[in-house]
Amino acid sequence: MKIDFTKMEGLGNDFILIDDIEGYIKKQIDFSFLSKKLCSRHFGIGADGIIIINNSELNDFKFTIYNSDGSQPQMCGNGMRCFAKYLYENKMIKKKKFTIETKAGTIIPEVFTDNDDKVELVRVDMGEPILIPSKIPFVTQNERAIKEKLFFDDDKEYVEVTAVSMGNPHAVVFVDDIKTINIKSQGQKIENHERFPEKTNVEFVKVVKEDELIMKVWERGAGQTLACGTGACAALVATYLNKKCLNKVLIHLEGGDLEIEWNLETNHIYKTGPASFVFSGSIMIFLDIFY
């Protein structure tokens, strides 16, 4: 079976985009298995996840994503920018602002183009942050999960987190020196903590000033990545709730910068940043290796 694909990246967070508008591929293969094979950086194409382009009965298109470990998150901000750029530049849609169905609800991206009608930036209406702990989900008796202590190693060690959902769960940790944090060790512990029933993404944040943050991320199901769009949104929300920043900030990630704004009147989060084409190709999949 031959599968055509396009590899794209948003601030170094890379994805394999597959057009399955007709639904043919889904009938032939399990996308969870396919993602694990294709995302392998040694035996596959290499990526943080695969994104499937589907028709939607509710919106212009449907966005489905699988992590490199085969798990299926609700949404991905960097992936959504790649998705929007792909749709527009491949003339699958003519509008510059459109609606996308995701497991986290309807997401609205808007593309900004240059004189050659190429997408330079994508601004995504990420919707409203979810702060009710049971809906994140996060286990606590408090109305909001701000400065919650997570204990490890028989209560000898703890870390303070603020929990937010942007359609997927996030734990935001504030640090004084982001260079000394062991992202893998700390990230894995927090991701799998029992107070996050569905596991969680983890953002380590240093506040530079009231409109500027530095962030490193450990993603649920993907490990340490160069950027996370929903994570950047959660970082702003958590930092604002802790009275450490304004409602609009520039966030420096390892893969580049994102501008995040929390419109306090509408309660919507807006994320603006780039997305880039890497390469296109096709790959032969022998179905018997998956089962």
Q: Provide the residue-wise pLDDT of the chain in tens; the chain has 291 residues.
A: 899 999 999 999 999 999 999 999 999 999 999 999 999 999 999 999 999 999 999 999 999 999 999 999 999 999 999 999 999 999 999 999 999 999 999 999 999 999 999 999 999 999 999 999 999 999 999 999 999 999 998 777 899 999 999 999 999 999 999 999 999 999 999 999 999 999 999 999 999 999 999 999 999 989 999 999 999 999 999 999 999 999 999 999 999 999 999 999 999 999 999 999 999 999 998 766 544
Indicate if 228 belongs to the active site: yes
Q: Is 247 helix (H, G, I), strand (E, B) or coil?
A: coil
How high is the pLDDT of residue 288? 60
**Given 39, 228, 233, 245, the catalytic residue:** 228
How high is the pLDDT of residue 286? 78
What is the value of pTM for the model shown?
Answer: 0.89
In which residue are the tokens 């109305």 written? 143
Alpha-carbon distance of 290 to 79, in angstroms, equals 25
Per 3-state DSSP, what percentage of the chain is helix, strand, and coil (rounded to 5)? 20, 40, 40
The per-residue b/e assignment along 163-182, b for 16 or more CB within 10 angstroms, e otherwise, is bbbbbbbbbbbbbeebeebe
How high is the pLDDT of residue 61? 98
* Topology of domain 2-127+275-289, CATH: Diaminopimelate Epimerase; Chain A, domain 1 (3.10.310)
How high is the pLDDT of residue 137? 98
- Sketch the domain layout of the chain as residue ranges: 2-127+275-289, 133-266
How high is the pLDDT of residue 154? 76
Q: Class assignment of domain 133-266?
A: alpha beta
135 CA to centre of own chain: 18
**Given 76, 82, 233, 245, the catalytic residue:** 76
Whether 16 and 39 have beta carbons less than 8 Å apart is answered as yes
Indicate if 39 belongs to the active site: no
Give the phi and the psi of residue 97 in degrees, each rounded to 5.
-135, 125
How high is the pLDDT of residue 156? 78
Angle separating helix axes 77-89 and 229-241, nearest 10 degrees:
130
Q: Do domains 2-127+275-289 and 133-266 have the same CATH topology?
A: yes
